[in-house]
């Protein structure tokens, strides 16, 4: 496939006639244009319809493993330069492992750091975007420097340094999504290069032709020896194993009986030294067989950071194997991941509290928040006259769980709720009912993230036939706090990568209108995951994320 690249034209400001320098491992589609002094590093993919034109501002630098997707435009003004990571001057510098996605515009002088993500139709002009930043769709970044590791939401206009400095930090799920995009495009680059190489493509075409004449369905995978199946592990667990190995992580497994499960006293299974999915699955199956009737969990280890990046239970005492969708590493605190049996450290469990509530506790503690409890009888519940239980000074999940159970035991027949408190801002960040008068323990889906104590005397009486009372209460609290509501959805396949799609802000002026809009989204995206988002428009951050529908 011929690459369309030409020398820079002679101009009043330059007669160098410089030509592009393209690494031999890069893939540049013939329907893209590269002009002038452009360096394209190793393993870069340049998709169709891309224009990289160093005829005015010059030179350009595109770092290794970066992907420039369809319709991307890179150009630069004749005046103005940025300093690249090599301390040289450039009109445009794009670092390594970056994703410049469909229809984005990078106009020099501009700098985009390593591991950054620039979303669809976003514009970076006369600006620096630091390493590890995530810029979502339709954003404008101009005349500013975005500090490393910042998140720019869709539609944001960042034109003052104060706006840039107040941006929220990137979350782990955002980093995982950006990393996933890199992996996808590297596979595409390899595939396109293979398609243009007769020696590479011929065997695959032969296998494909053979599959059409066979009664069996053959699955051809580039880079994988074959599909892996298991009688005791679900497809989702096999996908987890494959993901961990592809990212360079190590795999381990642990087991625990029902009695010790409550104290989190897990015991390691035989070390897994496997480097292929098939070998790793075989090792996990052996652990399951050796410890039938016990809990068994899979975990991934980052050998560089010496930390766990995933924990998920794959077998329970009743013999059920884990079949939950893939979970990327949970939120981060102080540079480390925390996980319990389903994503947070401290393998605490409780006979009175569901695993989801224990996860919330671990997450709050990992984030440096304090925890409290409150109770109220049915008569006073309507007026919001909650009373505090004994203060919780505990700093471990097990101790906090014990304190919560003590509060529940002391107030049987009443409502009991868990409180998360930000000690620095002196405000509540979470309220979730964990017991009701009928003795029912509420799941984590009843959580309410708030910026201040909610108004318990809300007069709105809107109800819903599709939404639970807890979700209606969440909507009431978000609106009561002056926040905006939004809906995101994702199908089962994309749920693994956290590729949520937003329906945009809900333009509701009343609780009733907001409920109607949420119900409409549930109906529109039946069969998908749907989550409710609360947004603080001033701080430009999320105050609530709650899944309200599952497939």
Domain residue spans in the chain?
5-177, 235-329, 352-447, 465-551
Q: Identify the band that residue 329 occupies on the pLDDT scale cut at 50, 70 and 90.
A: very low
Q: Is 56 assigned a catalytic role?
A: yes
What is the spatial distance between Cα 333 and Cα 363, in angstroms, rounded to a whole number? 9
- Indicate the pTM of the whole model: 0.43
What is the spatial distance between Cα 544 and Cα 485, in angstroms, rounded to a whole number? 9
473, 480 contact by CB (below 8 A) = no
Continuous H helices in 95-171? 161-165
Q: Does the pLDDT of residue 536 top 50, yes or no?
A: yes
Q: Identify the band that residue 23 occupies on the pLDDT scale cut at 50, 70 and 90.
A: very high
54, 43 contact by CB (below 8 A) = no
Which residue in 19, 24, 56, 431 is the catalytic one? 56
Q: Identify the band that residue 33 occupies on the pLDDT scale cut at 50, 70 and 90.
A: very high
How much helix, strand and coil, in percent to the nearest 5, is found in the chain? Answer: 25, 30, 45
How many C-alpha atoms does 1 have within 13 Å on its Cβ side? 17
Direct distance between the N- and C-terminal alpha carbons of the chain, in angstroms, rounded to an integer: 43
Position 529 scores a pLDDT of: 85
Position 349 scores a pLDDT of: 53
Can you list the pairs that 53-58 forms with residues at least 24 positions away whose Cβ atoms lie under 8 Å?
54/8, 54/18, 54/91, 54/92, 55/8, 55/9, 55/11, 56/11, 56/13, 56/91, 57/91, 57/92, 57/108, 57/109, 58/8, 58/14, 58/18, 58/91
- Backbone φ and ψ of 4, nearest 5°: -90, 90
Q: In the CATH scheme, what is the code of domain 235-329?
A: 3.30.190.10
Region 149-168: mean pLDDT is 93
Selection from 42, 48, 38, 26 nearest residue 74 by Cα: 38
Check if 235-329 and 465-551 are the same fold: yes
Structurally, what CATH architecture does the domain formed by 465-551 represent? 2-Layer Sandwich (3.30)
pLDDT, one tens digit per residue, over 56-71 is 999 999 999 999 999 9
Q: Identify the band that residue 462 occupies on the pLDDT scale cut at 50, 70 and 90.
A: low
Task: Work out the number of other CB atoms within 10 angstroms of the CB of residue 308.
Answer: 18
| 300: enclosing H helix or E strand | strand 295-302
Q: Identify the band that residue 195 occupies on the pLDDT scale cut at 50, 70 and 90.
A: confident
Is CATH 3.40.640.10 correct for 352-447?
A: no
Residue with tokens 């109220």: 376
Region 461-490: mean pLDDT is 78
Q: Does the pLDDT of residue 229 top 70, yes or no?
A: no
What is the spatial distance between Cα 261 and Cα 106, in angstroms, rounded to a whole number? 53
12-26, 27-41, 104-118, 255-269, range with the lowest pLDDT: 255-269
Class of domain 5-177: mainly beta
- Which residues have CB under 8 Å from 483's CB, separation 6+? 451, 534, 535, 536, 537, 543, 544
């Amino acid at each position: 496939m011929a690459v369309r690249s030409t020398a820079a034209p002679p101009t009043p400001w330059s007669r160098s006639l410089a030509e592009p320098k393209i690494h031999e491992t890069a893939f540049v589609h013939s329907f893209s244009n590269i002009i002038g002094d452009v360096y394209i590093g190793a393993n870069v993919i340049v998709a169709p319809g891309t224009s990289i034109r160093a005829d005015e501002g010059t030179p350009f630098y595109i770092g290794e493993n970066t992907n420039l997707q369809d319709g991307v435009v890179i150009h630069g003004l004749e005046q103005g330069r940025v300093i690249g990571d090599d301390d040289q001057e450039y009109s445009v510098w794009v670092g390594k492992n970056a994703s410049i996605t469909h229809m984005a515009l990078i106009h020099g002088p501009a700098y985009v750091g390593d591991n950054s993500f620039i979303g669809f139709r976003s514009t970076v002009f006369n600006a620096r975007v630091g390493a590890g930043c995530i810029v979502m769709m339709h954003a404008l970044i101009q005349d500013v420097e975005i500090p490393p590791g910042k998140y720019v939401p869709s539609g944001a206009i960042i034109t003052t340094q104060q706006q840039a400095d107040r941006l929220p930090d990137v979350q782990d799920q955002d980093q995982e999504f950006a990393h996933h995009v890199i992996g996808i495009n590297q596979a595409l680059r390899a595939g396109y290069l293979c398609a243009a190489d007769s020696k590479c493509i011929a065997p695959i075409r032969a296998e494909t032709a053979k599959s059409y004449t066979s009664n069996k369905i053959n699955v051809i995978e580039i880079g994988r020896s074959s599909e892996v199946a298991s009688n005791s592990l679900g497809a989702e667990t096999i996908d987890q194993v494959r993901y961990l190995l592809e990212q360079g992580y190590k795999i381990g497994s642990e087991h625990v009986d029902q009695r010790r499960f409550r104290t989190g006293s897990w015991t390691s299974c035989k070390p897994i030294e496997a480097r292929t999915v098939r070998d790793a699955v075989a090792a996990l199956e052996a652990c399951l067989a050796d410890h039938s009737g016990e809990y068994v969990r899979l975990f991934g280890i980052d050998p560089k950071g010496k930390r766990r990046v995933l924990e998920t239970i794959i077998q329970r005492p009743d013999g059920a194997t884990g079949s939950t969708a893939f979970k990327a590493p949970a939120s981060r605190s102080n540079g480390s991941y925390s996980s319990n049996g389903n994503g947070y450290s401290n393998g605490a469990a409780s006979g009175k509290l569901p695993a989801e509530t224990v996860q919330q506790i671990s997450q709050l503690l990992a984030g440096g928040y304090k925890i409290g409890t409150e109770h109220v009888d049915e008569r006073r519940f309507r007026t919001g006259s909650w009373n505090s239980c004994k203060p919780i000074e505990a700093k471990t999940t097990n101790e906090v769980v014990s304190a919560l159970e003590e509060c529940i035991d002391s107030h049987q027949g009443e409502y009991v709720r868990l409180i998360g408190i930000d000690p620095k801002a002196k405000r509540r960040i979470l309220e979730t009912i964990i017991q009701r008068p009928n003795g029912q323990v509420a799941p984590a889906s009843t959580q309410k993230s708030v910026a201040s104590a909610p108004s318990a005397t809300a007069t709105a009486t809107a109800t819903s036939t599709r939404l639970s009372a807890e979700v209606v209460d969440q909507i009431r609290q978000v609106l009561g706090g002056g926040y905006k509501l939004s809906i995101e959805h994702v199908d089962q396949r994309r749920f693994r990568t956290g590729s949520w799609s937003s329906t945009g802000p809900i333009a509701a002026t009343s609780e009733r209108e907001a409920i109607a809009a949420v119900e409409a989204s549930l109906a529109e995206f039946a069969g998908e995951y749907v989550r409710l988002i609360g947004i603080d428009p001033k701080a430009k951050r999320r105050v609530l994320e709650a899944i309200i529908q599952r497939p």
